[in-house]
Chain A
Amino acid sequence: MKVPVTFGQYVPVDSPVHSLDAKAKMGLVAAFTAALFLVDGPLGMVAAAAVVAAAVVLSRVPWRIALRGIRAVVMILMITLAAHALRWNPATVALVRVGPLAVDAAGLKEGLFFVVRIVLLVVGTSLLTLTTSPVALTDGLERIMRPLARVRFPASEVAMMLTIALRFIPTTAQEAEKLIVAQTARGARFDAGGPIARARAYAPVLVPLFVNLFRRADDLATAMEARCYRGGVGRTRLHESRMRPRDWAVLCLGTLVLALVGITL
């Protein structure tokens, strides 16, 4: 049975944003985040929103998917808004009042400002993972971390770790699914009882899953050694993303624009 495991969030289409080097995108995301926190007026927010909207349109990622990340932070958004806008028995004039609870105009404005900031942050940063394949992402991370090797940070090993994790997530997911089906066929129920009973019901899945994972890890270690893996030293790479002039140009101009927005607005 072949279930296409749609991995992570990557949307595999061709666009100028997709073809931008991962490191340039990471740089832009950092600049964007900084700008977002420097902005202190509604005009700045509008500018930042325009930047995000333009990037999404350019990336050809459907809006539905681009905005999906917001779902995860809905609770945070509501709490933020409530914390700023709601007042208990205020002395001042309120917009709406229900019993002792009141909505304060200035607070509401402030709350909305923070909500928009969070939304833009989520949508803007998720565009990185939506338009960059996991492989390119780990590669980019490795390059960015490489200077840290001088302070004995195992950048290449960390990148290898991430690659292997990415490689085995779908395999492990398939295996977990197989185990759940097999144990269901033996009468296991995963939906009955309280939380503890339910957690216990997963033992027949988790135990073999881990046993098999360790077995797999053993094999993988042997295979890697047989293929002469000895850490990052002296290793070349088939794909080593290099910043082309275009990537530098986009990164520099983008950062400049974002800095201007952040400082002036």
Chain B
Amino acid sequence: MIVFEAVSFTYPGAARPAIADLTLTIASASLLAVVGANGSGKSTLARLADGLLVPDSGRVMVDGIDTADEQRCWDVRSRVGLVLQNPDNQIVGTVVEEDVAFGPENLGVPREELRSRVSDALAVVGLTGLERREPHLLSEGQKQRLAIAGALAMRPEYLVLDEPTAMLDQRGRTDVLGVLDGLKLAGRGVVHITQDTGEAARADLVLALDAGSVAYLGHPAGLLGDASLMAELGLEAPPIQVIADELRRSGFTVPEVSTAEELVEALWR
């Protein structure tokens, strides 16, 4: 588990805290979505979970290790994989397999195991066969999946992804979401930071941040069903949800639906 205990963090020189009094538990084999407008503290949360930032007050415990413990910071970082927003800025290797190997190389993994880690990670994200490709010749979706593979090769217990689908088209998006679902099934704790409430609806738990504070923490339906809270947070409700709510308000009986197919199936049986 990653446990945030009353965590606050203020960037040097900033007027207000980026994260204020946050308490949160991130469990294994689960998918947590983090939503909020730009500047609500989502990226700061990611860096706190990974120990790249250390709380000003409160503490973050990763499997019982305090991220403030400098002696064990590499333990923390090898347990928590972090994928930043722009894949282009985090690919280190000059070819795909070199980049995937970068993390485990730093952990001192022996060469024979490096091979298998690289091929396993590439298989998970569906990039097998592109081992020798140069990163700048990959598509945006492939780059994003390469960045994920780079984190996976460290065999982390938790994976934190900062808006991994923001720049992708439909196909790239579907691919990445599929990878996240697979990771959760494989027992990893996945934290998915996103602007898209439709993506957040797929999570087990959703955290909404507003100016660094928790505005909502619970089942996605509770947030998505609260139109006024959504508007306050600068979030856009998934359109299917809005349609279903409107229809209910007009007296129709509509069950819980999340896709256009489900909605139409429910209405035109």
Contacts and interface: CB of A to CB of B under 8 A. Distances in A.
A joins B in a complex: yes
A230 B89 contact: no
A5 B137 CA distance: 9
Contact of B92 (A170, A220, A239): A220
The B interface, classified by DSSP as helix, strand, loop or mixed, is helix
Contacts of A170: 134, 136
A211 interface: no
Given A5-B136, A219-B84, A236-B111, A227 B94 contact: no
Interface in A87-103: none
A241 interface: no
A43 B103 CA distance: 54
A167 interface: yes
B129 interface: no
The A interface, classified by DSSP as helix, strand, loop or mixed, is helix
A207 interface: no
B68 to A, nearest CB: 16
A4 interface: yes
Nearest to B114: A238
Interface string A190-228: 000000000000000000000000011001101111111
A227 B106 contact: yes
Interface in A12-37: none
Interface stretch (B8-16, B74-82, B120-128, B253-261): B74-82
Interface string A158-185: 0000011011001100100000000000
B136 A174 contact: yes
A223 B92 contact: yes
Interface of B: 47, 50, 52, 74, 77-78, 81-82, 84, 86, 88-95, 97-98, 101-111, 114-115, 118, 134-137, 150-151, 154
14 contacts: A135-B94, A135-B95, A166-B94, A167-B91, A167-B92, A170-B134, A216-B88, A225-B52, A226-B84, A228-B154, A229-B102, A236-B109, A237-B101, A238-B118
